[in-house]
Structure 1
Amino acid sequence: MSNASVSNDHLSSYLKQIRERVGEIVVGQDVVVERTLISLLTSGHLLLEGMPGLAKTLLVNTISKAIHLDFRRVQFTIDLLPSDILGTEILDEKSGGFRTHHGPIFTNLLLADEINRAAPKVQGALLEAMQERKVTLGNQTMSLPTPFLVIATQNPIEQSGTFELPEAQLDRFMLCHRLGYPAAKDEEEILRRNLKLGVQKKDGGAVARTEFDLVTDDAVGTPEDLVAAMEATHDIHVSEVFLKHVVDIVERTRKHPDLELGCSPRAGIALLKASRARALIHGRDYAISEDLFALAEDVILHRIRLSYEALADGKTPQQILQQILEESIS
């Protein structure tokens, strides 16, 4: 057996173990786990949209521990300031100078919880750091840790107290995945597992255990395995036909009569990168059309906007995208 074959088998086993580890704690979120791994392997940020209580924080926490990454969580609120995320300079009374206090953004995996509840100025500060992977505090410009990934969650914009993210900021998220409620079978399993959690005794007292108590610090593989997986993602073959197919889909979003805003070139780059990562996760060394169609919604829907006429006619972005995909393969 060749070294390349051994390496590919090892990476496939490594990625499978991560998904299995998460599955031991989080039920019925296989697609979200896959999207998170895609984001990690391609250094692209992920936006999760859905109602509270769908285990988004638990999922990200579990993945960070499984891959041995530093994890921080910031709860976005209306009174949050940019310095609460980025950090600030603090006057040191002893020395008379300033010292730098790093904010929670200096981590590998940042969960920006309910990002659309913060004021636009705070959203902009975070998204600028996401794009440049650097933070400027005072006269110092500091690079963020590597890898650095933001997983942001947002509530549906119909909820009160939310600010809709502008198109330019949404475009910086490589993927936007929409979470739904679990299927009845999965929800039954969630309840069964919860019944078995029991009580944790500590310091002479006790507290009911939660799913977070099941998360362990035992990592799957090593940091070198993650680096190898990221390198292998860039070796996944993308054919000229596949590339032209991506360009065709992106171009159709710009010309469709029901869309007033189409995709930027960043969407095509995201489709290619994400398709490569999905191919690796599924044990292939080449991207296929299945990867493209599986990822199209998560890559494209948050980058397009319907015209007022299309909205008045009751059309949805999902319908328009499905039409574009069908036309591109006909």
Structure 2
Amino acid sequence: MIDVTNLTKHYGRHIAVDDLSFTVRPGVVTAFLGPNGAGKTTTMRMILGLDRPTAGRALVNGRPFEQHRAPLREIGALIDAKGTHPGRPARDHLSALAATTGISKRRVGKVLDLVGLSEVADRRSGGFSLGMGQRLGIASALLGDPHTVMLDEPVNGLDPEGVLWIRNLLKSLAAEGRTVLVSSHLMSEMALTAEHFIIVGRGRLIADMSGSELTAMTEPTSVRVRSPHARQLRDLLAGDATDIAIRGHDLFDVVGVDADEIGARARSANLQLQELTPARASLEDIFIDLTKDAVDYHGATDSTNSTHKLENPR
């Protein structure tokens, strides 16, 4: 478990992290999200004791990271995938880490297999691609078989097979009862991987909730209707719907009439329904709405004018 309490970090007049508090619990994958410059990496560095907080504290399994007798067995972290000596082979890099922390050499071979680097284990890491470097960083994080895993942008540089692999790996670690915290800018991937979401902006907490709670904050954007009586249903709804998009002979999407009302009208007209599914905003849409006031740099094609309005934004 990771406990962050009133964590604050100043760099001169710049406030990188501002009175931040949250808890990352075991058994679920927790996504740590925020725009560039939101304070995610700085927060992770303070959790690891790499940066000293201006105020507040961060505990890993009840203690500051540096107070654990065997830190790599408590938390494995990937902050910088390039943090290896380029002239050192992957196996030697992991063996050196193992030797300094009392981890067996057998564990080195096991994590190399786990991350798919066994065949290139004796190659110098300086010749690795970005994706291979990420895999080596993940191997380093898992070397101590830690209770807690914290990865900063682990999907960067991975090909589609690699993205699927890291998704399944994170889920399997959480299923074993470990604490898993992962940051990423790939919202579509986090929607598939994480169950809980911590969102920050300009160093402050914006949201700390489950995926279902996040989704429930948005109004349905449309309702998908499937029925053998699709034409009759469309006629019933035409007067009140703001838009009806036909997707097939028995399938259409409705905007402007909610699912309860559609169901009631179908029942009154004795028309069969096979599907009635409200569609909500994607995680990306929700993220943009929540963080639109915390983005420092807006491009000319800024998407902050999202139409997916939040019912109860924090």
TM-score under structure 2 length normalisation: 0.37
Larger Rg: 2
More helix as a share of residues = 1
TM-score under structure 1 length normalisation: 0.36
